[in-house]
Amino acid sequence: MSAMKLLLAASLLLCPGYALAQDGNKEPVAVVELGAAPSRNLTDHQSGFGPSVAVEVTPIEKWLELEAGVTPSFSRQSTEWDTDLLFKKPWTLSPKAEFMAGIGPEWIHTSESGITRNSLGGEAVLDFMFWPGRKHKLGWYVEPGYEYNFGRGHERSIGVSAGLLIAIDKR
């Protein structure tokens, strides 16, 4: 019996990556968000609409999720590209529902009437994720948000992103 314990201890020391990978946790490596994002500028009351793409990873289980995303917003007189990095705190509401609150910086590239501007901003979001299946392969999300542009005009806007969740599993 002691030879078996010695073999087990040696294998754990020699192969720590494999031992840690077998934790039984079925968390995906990443979650891809594909959706649509209507928005409303609170400063000049213009509305915009565009697609939204983001990738979310979990570096610290139950404490931190990182989301990097890009959202182009098209309105009658301008085009705006928002690129953000959000730091989110997750809460599991049920086996099929999650909630996250997050904040982070964003880079805003605006093209309006032939004038191009780049500025920094801040964003705050509430993220609701729903996974209909047991395995959390496909789901959907709703993410209302508020952004503040630190650039010229200090624009403020609200919006909501909603769409499909696709889990990228571990290999």
How much is the average pLDDT of 128-157?
94
Query: How large is the C-alpha radius of gyration of the chain?
Result: 21
Interval 86-97: pLDDT, tens: 999 999 999 999
Q: Rounded distance, CA 119 to CA 42, Å?
A: 17
Interval 50-105: pLDDT, tens: 999 999 999 999 999 999 999 999 998 889 999 999 999 999 999 999 999 999 99
Interval 12-27: pLDDT, tens: 444 444 333 444 457 8
User: What domains appear along the chain, each with residue ranges and CATH number?
Assistant: 25-168 (2.40.160.20)
Residue 11 has pLDDT above 80, yes or no: no
Across the chain, mean pLDDT equals 87
Percent of the chain scored above 70 by pLDDT? 84
Per-residue pLDDT at 18: 38
Q: How confident is the model at residue 129 (pLDDT cuts 50, 70, 90)?
A: very high
Per-residue pLDDT at 110: 93
pTM of the model: 0.81
Distances (CA, A) of 36 to 52, 66, 72, 171: 5, 20, 10, 30
